[in-house]
Amino acid sequence: MENKFISENYMEIIIPNRLVDTLEIGTSVTYVNSKHSIANIPRDQIDFCTLGTFNYSNFPSIFTLDSSLALEQIGVTRLQANPNFSLYGTGVLIGIIDSGINYQNPAFLYSDKSTRIYTIWDQTITDENAPVNEDFPYGTIYSKVDINRALKSPTPLEIVPTNDEIGHGTAIAGIAAGSTDTSNDFAGAAPLSELVVVKMKQAKNITKQFFSIREDAICYQETDVMLGIKFLESIASELNRPLVLCIAFGTGQGPHDSLGSTSTYLANITSLPKTCVVISAGNEGNSQRHYSYNIRSGVPFDEFEMVVGENDKKFFMEIWLEPIQRISLEITSPSGETISNTNPAIRHSRRYSFVFSPTVICINNIATVSETGLQLVWLRFENAQSGPWRFRYNNIDNTSSVINVWLPSGDIISTSTYFLQADPETTVTSPGDAVAPVTIGSYNTLEGGISYFSGIGYTRKGEVKPDLAAPGTDIKAPSGNTGYSAATGTGAAAALTSGAVALLLEWAVVRGNYTIITGREVKTLLIRGARRETSEEYPNRFWGYGKVDIYGVFEKLII
C-alpha cells in the first residue's frame, strides 16, 4: 500500500486538532500533540496558487541547517575537573533531529566499542518487513541492539543501513555528546550521555514545488520535524530519563513571533519536568534577507529594492503587516515592467506572467492569517529575472505601523539575492523565536566578538532572543566514520550548549538534587550563570543575557 508520507501524490499539512473533523471523510490524520495533527492531502486537492480551502499557517515551514562543515569557553572543562561535580552527562538523553548520524564513528562508541546511541529513527528508509507503527508511520526505527549487531559485522550498513550523507547531524551530535578521544584532542561536552537520533527525510518535491524551491535544495519540512520531536518525547517518557532536545536548524518563514506550530510545540515541552530544549538562533545575521520600515501616517507610499541573483530562479518572499495596517503592492521588474495594485482580501490570489521576461509570480495578499491576525503578502517566483526589483507599498488606511519582509533562510537561495536596504535585526530564525526554550547565538572564541552570521534579535514582538551565545566558529566535530572536521554556525553553538545542559540535568535529576527541574528553570539558571562584559548592557540583540558558562551556573547556586 502507498505510504502517503513518502508519496509525491500527497502533501502534508498541519491541522489544529479542533479542525480535524472538518477534513474530507477518509483523510489520513496522524496525531502529534494536544494542539496539532498532520493530514495527508491528495495532490489534486491542493491549489498551488490560491491555497484552496487551507490557510497559509496549515502548510509546513521549510527548515535549513544551521552549521557548515571550545569546551573551556563554556565552563565544561572546569566543571568536569572539579571532583565535587565530575559531570559527564551520565543518565541523560540528548535528542538530535537532523541529517542523520554516522553511527560507526568512534565518537559515538563506548570504550568497549558498543554504541552510545539508544535508537535511531531514519525517516528515509522504508522497510516493508517492519511492523507498522501508527505513531510514526514511515521510515525505520533501529534499536541499540540492532546498532551493536551491525557494529560487530564486517558490513555494518547491510544490517543498519542508516548513514549521514551530509555530515551535519554527525557534527552536531558529536559536539554535544562525542566520546573523549585524547589522541585527537577531542571530547563532546557530555561524553557519557546517550543519544536518541532522528534522521529527517528531505522535503518532498511536491512541497518544494508549492513553496517555489528548487528541487536540489537541501531542506526539511515542518511535519517531519514535529513527528521527530514526538519521537524523542516518547523515548524519554518510556525510559523515564531527562532529555535535552538540540535543534540546530531553522526557517526564515513566518512573522517571527513565536506562534508557529513547531515554536509552540517546543515551548510546551519546555514546561515539562526533566526536559530542556536548546535551539540555534540561525545564521541570517549578515545575509541581507530582512527588510523593515516604520510606515508613517500621512505618507501615502514607500518602496524597497531586492537584487535577484543569476542562479536564483525559484524562491519565495513574505511581507508581514501588523493588524492595524493594510497595504497594496506594486512590483517593477528589472526590465521595467510593473504589476499594479494587488489589494488585500480574505483569499486574494493572482498569478502574473511578465511579457518581457519569463518570470511568473504567484501573489497571495491575505488580509488576515490565522494564529496571528496579521496581513501577509506572499510572493512565489518562477524563472525570476536577475537584477534589481522594486516593490512599492501603498498605505491604504493612512496609519503608522511596521512592515517586515523576509527571504528564505540557508541555502534555499544564494547570497546573490538580497535586499538593498536590509535590516540585520529580527533575523533569529524560527523556532528560535519560541519564548520558553533556550535560543543560542554564536561568538568567535579567538576574537571574542559575536559571529558575523549569528542571528540578531529581538523577535518581531520585542521578546529577548537570542537568550545567550556560545562558541560557534571552527568547532572540532566528528566527520564521516572515523575522522574530524571543523563546524561553524549557531547550530554548533547550540550543540555545545546542549551538552552543557546535559551536565546540569545529570546533577539535578540523575543525582537527585532537583528531580522535577523544567526547561524553563534550566534557562533561568543559564541566564543567571552567564558571563557578562562590563562594557555591554544586557539583555541586548546580539548576546541576549551573555555567554554560556555552565560552571558559572553552579557558582551562582553555591554563593
How, if at all, do strands 249-250 and 418-419 pair?
unpaired
Compute the distance between CA of residue 176 and CA of residue 283 in angstroms, rounded to an integer: 19
How far is it, in rounded angstroms, from Cα 428 to Cα 291?
14
Nearest of 391, 392, 390, 413 to residue 334 by alpha carbon: 390
User: What pLDDT does 559 receive?
Assistant: 58
Q: Rounded to two decimals, what is the model's pTM?
A: 0.95
Taking CA atoms, 400 is separated from 293, 321, 328, 365, in Å, by 10, 11, 15, 20
Indicate the domain borders of the chain.
71-285+430-558, 290-419
Query: End-to-end CA distance of the chain, in Å?
Result: 62
pLDDT at 22: 86
Q: Which residues are CB-contacts of 490 (< 8 A; sequence separation ≥ 6)?
A: 66, 67, 248, 280, 281, 282, 283, 440, 441, 442, 451, 453, 454, 455, 472
* pLDDT the model gives residue 438: 99
Residue with cell 493612512: 398
pLDDT of residue 133: 85
Q: What is the side-by-side order of every strand in the sheet holding 10-16?
A: 10-16, 36-42, 28-31
Q: What confidence score (pLDDT) does residue 158 get?
A: 96
Whether the CB-CB separation of 82 and 161 falls below 8 Å is answered with no
Burial 422-437 (b: 16+ CB within 10 A, else e): bbbbbbbbbbbbbbbb
Topology adopted by domain 71-285+430-558: Rossmann fold (3.40.50)
The architecture in CATH of the region 290-419 reads Sandwich (2.60)
Please give the DSSP secondary-structure letter assigned to residue 18. G
For residue 234, give the nearest of 336, 153, 133, 342 by alpha carbon.
133
**Rounded to an integer, what distance in angstroms lies between the CA atom of residue 120 and that of residue 101?**
9
**Residue type at 325?**
Q
CB 40 within 8 A of CB 28: yes
Cα separation, 221 vs 226, in Å, equals 9
pLDDT, one tens digit for every residue, the chain (559 residues): 789 999 999 999 999 999 898 888 778 999 999 999 999 999 988 888 877 778 888 999 999 998 876 667 778 888 888 888 899 999 999 999 999 999 999 999 999 999 999 999 999 998 887 777 889 999 999 999 999 999 999 999 999 999 999 999 999 999 999 999 999 999 999 999 999 999 999 999 999 999 999 999 999 999 999 999 999 999 999 999 999 999 999 999 999 998 899 999 999 999 999 999 999 999 999 999 999 999 888 888 899 999 999 999 999 999 999 888 888 889 999 999 998 867 666 667 889 999 999 999 999 888 778 777 888 899 999 999 999 999 999 888 888 889 999 999 999 999 999 999 999 999 999 999 999 999 999 999 888 899 999 999 999 999 999 999 999 999 999 998 988 999 999 999 999 999 999 999 999 999 999 999 999 999 999 999 999 999 999 999 999 999 999 999 999 987 5
| Residue 286 and residue 424 in contact, taking contact as beta carbons nearer than 8 Å | yes
SS3 434: coil
CATH topology identical between 71-285+430-558 and 290-419: no
From 281, 260, 244, select the one nearest 523 (Cα to Cα). Answer: 244
Distance, CA of 134 to CA of 140 (rounded, Å):
12
CB of 453 within 8 A of CB of 286?
yes
Measuring CA to CA, which residue among 377, 298, 300, 396 is closest to residue 339? 377
- 206-229 CB burial, b ≥16 within 10 A, e <16: bbbbbbbbbeebebbbbbbbbbbb
* pLDDT for 344: 66
For 39-81, the pLDDT digits (tens) are 999 998 888 887 777 888 899 999 999 887 666 777 888 888 8
